[in-house]
């Protein structure tokens, strides 16, 4: 549902035969909502005003489009739902520019555009949406409107339909939007193909030359790669002016990216495991620091608690900090202690002749309240990045077509898959279970190439070692060709006295067949024959295989119980379905494929032009997230001030 098709309509001349009337019943509007009482700066907008016509026309057309009604003419709301009022507020610094707001959702909350209200309106209007599905508007989900719009409106050819709506039990406000390509249609490209040419580190084109960065990543078997989103452990911050309202009301992890600088490694000591250090960039504050690997956690291993996500929508800022659209003042906040060279009062380098040194940002005290603002910017940027994917390092292949000669196929040596960098040759987890894949292959008559499942493996995740990324022109989507593996029991008798899953190596060694080391008590069992690869849409990737490091500070307590006995209990579901510790253990185990995530986060949904690449996504993420947050905080409700 691209926006230009809406802009072609004339919303200022409504057609009486194309009116949408809300049911004559109470909506979800709060009865005590009162619009601002400043009569000099705030006016109620009448129904025949051009702003009201535009709002009601855009929202009405959005509802009609989602219900598959004909769009020969625009549709209008006859009136707003009961309890909702459209007003315009004039700015103090510029009385000639009014800002329209729709009140009714909450006492201090309002919709700032018809695009924001449209998602809430379709949820209110249609009984199926209202009774069976969560609302997907910005006020209900606490997501930036830019992300919502880019998923549901800004993608040509994509429309929100019944099969795309997740059910309420799927839970999690960050995952209610689902994916642009639904699970039901994701299986449409599944088939078999043949092995591909290997990528080697050579000078000739045949075999194809491997990118140095790809070889570097695969040879080092590093847990984290340059440019990836990660969480960095910080000293926990809790409210300083009141008691905690929730045990999870603390900030202990901060969004960051692995900076594109050389990783500094220290040689292992005889009595200690090897150590690896990473240069990371803390999002929201733009600080780069070198931290040891045990302070870093995979992006998919953690999500912000709801109690924190709600508070970063309306943060409090120190009274002497000016909030600007670029949020430059946030550089004065340090989630991590400053390194000695930056905290001893001496400059690390003198300014170049002819250039003025930039003023040093005012130091912001390291408190829970002051962290909410920078964390909101960091989380907004991270969410923008993790919603997008693209191929990297393209090359062309000749593909033989039966009876039609050959055609050129575009392939990629790797992809940016949301938070992660994935190369050809990587082992990835798939979103489907072993049993699900077998059912799909049987329904398509393709099960003859698949080995029988080993005991207990049908309810574990599947793995794919990628041999090729290619763009399927017919289906207009990225696909992968891969060897298929399952996680099988190494033996029936496990030594329960040995601590298994907790690894004591920063870089897990590979096995003889080139695969990463499996979790203790398991082995990777190949399901596809040597001359056959499975061909899947890229949407079935859950993420890279992640062998959980033992010294991960953020989850030290959880990792301390990840031994063989605990694993056996988890298999038997002895934690109970509502045990939060059991769920978090399960989510961590899912990164290694031992079990399936109970509430998996949605994967990337927006395909980016490879010409823009990761650098373009990162640049746009910084601009878009800051603009959205600035408008939300300052133009709507200015942040409260800490005295």
Q: What is the pLDDT of residues 422-435, one digit of tens each?
A: 999 899 998 877 77
Q: How far apart are CA 55 and CA 86, in angstroms?
A: 9
Q: What is the pLDDT of residues 567-581, one digit of tens each?
A: 455 444 445 555 555
Q: What is the pLDDT of residues 7-38, one digit of tens each?
A: 667 888 888 888 988 876 444 544 444 455 45
Question: Do residues 205 and 629 touch, judged by C-beta distance below 8 A?
Answer: no
Angle, helices 114-125/50-66, rounded to nearest 10 degrees: 50
**pLDDT: which is higher, 348 or 204:** 348
Question: Do residues 557 and 550 touch, judged by C-beta distance below 8 A?
Answer: no
Beta carbons within 8 Å of 271's beta carbon, 6+ residues apart: none
**Residues facing residue 490 across a β-bridge:** none
Residue 137 has pLDDT above 50, yes or no: yes
Of 98-102, 243-247, 508-512, 565-569, the poorest mean pLDDT is in 508-512
- For the chain, percent of residues with pLDDT exceeding 70: 60
Q: What is the pLDDT of residues 334-377, one digit of tens each?
A: 999 887 654 444 444 444 444 444 556 678 889 998 899 899 99
End-to-end CA distance of the chain: 46
Question: Do residues 362 and 320 touch, judged by C-beta distance below 8 A?
Answer: yes
Residue 389 has pLDDT above 80, yes or no: yes
Which of 135, 131, 129 has its CA nearest to residue 116?
A: 135
pLDDT of residue 228: 93
pLDDT band at 245 (very low <50, low <70, confident <90, very high): confident
SS3 content of the chain, % helix, strand, coil (to 5): 30, 25, 50
Residue 450 has pLDDT above 50, yes or no: yes
Residue 159 has pLDDT above 50, yes or no: no
Question: Do residues 537 and 181 touch, judged by C-beta distance below 8 A?
Answer: yes
Which of 3, 570, 588 has its CA nearest to residue 301?
A: 588
Residue 466 has pLDDT above 90, yes or no: yes
Q: What is the pLDDT of residues 401-420, one digit of tens each?
A: 555 556 678 889 999 999 99
CA distances from 568 to 460, 551, 565, 574 (A): 14, 22, 5, 9
Cis link prior to 158 (omega < 30° from 0)? no
Residue 616 has pLDDT above 80, yes or no: yes
**pLDDT: which is higher, 473 or 4:** 473
**pLDDT: which is higher, 209 or 332:** 332
pLDDT of residue 423: 92
pLDDT of residue 310: 87
pLDDT band at 381 (very low <50, low <70, confident <90, very high): very high
Residue 523 has pLDDT above 90, yes or no: no
- Highest-confidence range of 142-146, 383-387, 444-448, 453-457, by mean pLDDT? 383-387
**Residues facing residue 400 across a β-bridge:** 406
pLDDT of residue 57: 92
Three-state DSSP at 183 gives: helix
Q: How far apart are CA 515 and CA 517, in angstroms?
A: 6
What are the strands, taking DSSP E only, across 492-626?
A: 522-526, 533-537, 541-544, 606-607
510-519 contacts at long range (C-beta below 8 A, 24 or more positions apart): 510/221, 515/427, 515/465, 515/485, 516/221, 516/427, 516/545, 516/547, 517/547, 518/487, 518/490, 519/487, 519/547, 519/592, 519/593, 519/594
Strand 287-292 with 522-526, pairing = unpaired
**pLDDT: which is higher, 195 or 231:** 231
Residues 555-590: b if buried by 16+ CB within 10 A, e if exposed = beebbeebbbebbeebeeeebeeeeeebbbbbbbbb
Given the structure tokens 């209202």, which residue do they identify? 130
Q: How far apart are CA 168 and CA 177, in angstroms?
A: 11
């Amino acid at each position: 549902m691209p926006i230009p098709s809406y802009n072609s309509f004339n919303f200022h001349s409504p057609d009486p035969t194309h009116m949408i009337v809300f049911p004559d019943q109470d909506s979800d509007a709060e009865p005590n909502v009162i619009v601002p009482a400043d009569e000099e700066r705030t006016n109620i907008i009448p129904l025949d005003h051009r702003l009201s016509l535009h709002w009601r026309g855009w929202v009405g057309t959005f509802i009609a489009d989602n219900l598959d009604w004909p769009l020969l003419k625009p549709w209008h709301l006859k009136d707003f739902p009961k309890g909702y009022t459209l007003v315009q507020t004039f700015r103090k610094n510029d009385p000639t520019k009014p800002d329209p707001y729709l009140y009714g959702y909450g006492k201090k909350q309002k919709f700032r555009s018809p695009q924001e209200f449209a998602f809430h309106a379709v949820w209110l209007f249609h009984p199926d949406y209202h009774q069976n599905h969560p609302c997907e508007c910005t006020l209900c989900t606490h997501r930036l409107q830019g992300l919502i719009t880019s998923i549901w409106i800004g993608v040509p050819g994509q429309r929100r339909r019944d099969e795309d709506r997740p059910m309420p039990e799927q839970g999690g406000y960050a995952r209610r939007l689902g994916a642009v390509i639904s699970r039901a249609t994701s299986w449409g490209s599944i088939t078999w193909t043949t092995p591909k040419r290997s990528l080697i580190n050579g000078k000739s084109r045949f075999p194809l030359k491997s990118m140095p960065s790809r070889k570097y990543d695969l040879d080092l078997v590093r847990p984290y790669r340059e440019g990836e989103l990660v969480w960095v452990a910080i000293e926990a911050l809790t409210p300083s002016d009141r008691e905690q309202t929730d045990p999870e009301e603390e900030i202990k992890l901060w969004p960051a990216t692995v900076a594109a600088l050389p990783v500094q490694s220290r040689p292992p000591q005889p009595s200690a495991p090897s150590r690896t250090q990473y240069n990371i960039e803390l999002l929201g504050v733009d600080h780069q620091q070198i931290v040891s690997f045990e302070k870093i956690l995979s992006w998919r291993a953690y999500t912000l608690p709801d109690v924190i996500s709600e508070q970063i929508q309306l943060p409090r800022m120190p009274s002497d900090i000016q909030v600007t659209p670029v949020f430059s003042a946030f550089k004065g906040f340090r989630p991590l202690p400053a390194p000695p060279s930056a905290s001893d009062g001496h400059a690390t380098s003198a300014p170049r002749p002819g250039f003025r040194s930039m003023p040093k940002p005012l130091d912001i005290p390291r408190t829970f309240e002051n962290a909410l603002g920078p964390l909101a910017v960091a989380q907004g940027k991270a969410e923008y990045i993790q919603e997008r994917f693209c191929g990297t390092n393209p090359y062309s292949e000749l593909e033989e077509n039966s009876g039609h000669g050959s055609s050129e196929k575009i392939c990629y040596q790797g992809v940016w898959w949301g938070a992660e960098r994935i190369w050809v040759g990587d082992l990835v987890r798939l979103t489907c279970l072993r049993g699900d894949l077998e059912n799909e292959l049987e329904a398509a008559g393709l099960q003859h190439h698949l080995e029988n499942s080993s005991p207990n493996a049908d309810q574990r995740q599947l793995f794919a070692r990628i041999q090729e990324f290619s763009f399927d022109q017919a289906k207009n989507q990225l696909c992968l060709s891969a060897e298929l593996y399952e996680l099988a029991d190494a033996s029936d008798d496990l030594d329960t006295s040995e601590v298994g899953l907790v690894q004591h190596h920063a870089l897990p060694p590979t096995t003889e067949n080139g695969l990463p080391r499996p979790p203790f008590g398991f082995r990777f069992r190949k399901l596809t024959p040597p001359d056959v690869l499975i061909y899947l849409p890229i949407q079935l990737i859950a993420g890279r295989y992640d062998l959980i490091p033992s010294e991960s500070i953020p989850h030290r307590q959880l990792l301390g119980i990840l031994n063989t006995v605990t694993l056996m209990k988890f298999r038997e579901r002895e934690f109970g379905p509502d045990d939060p510790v059991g769920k978090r253990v399960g989510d961590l185990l899912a990164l290694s494929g031992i079990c399936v995530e109970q509430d998996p986060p949605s994967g990337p949904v927006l395909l980016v032009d490879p010409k823009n690449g990761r650098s373009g996504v990162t640049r746009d993420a910084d601009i878009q997230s800051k603009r959205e947050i600035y408008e939300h905080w300052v133009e709507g409700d200015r942040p409260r001030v800490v005295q």
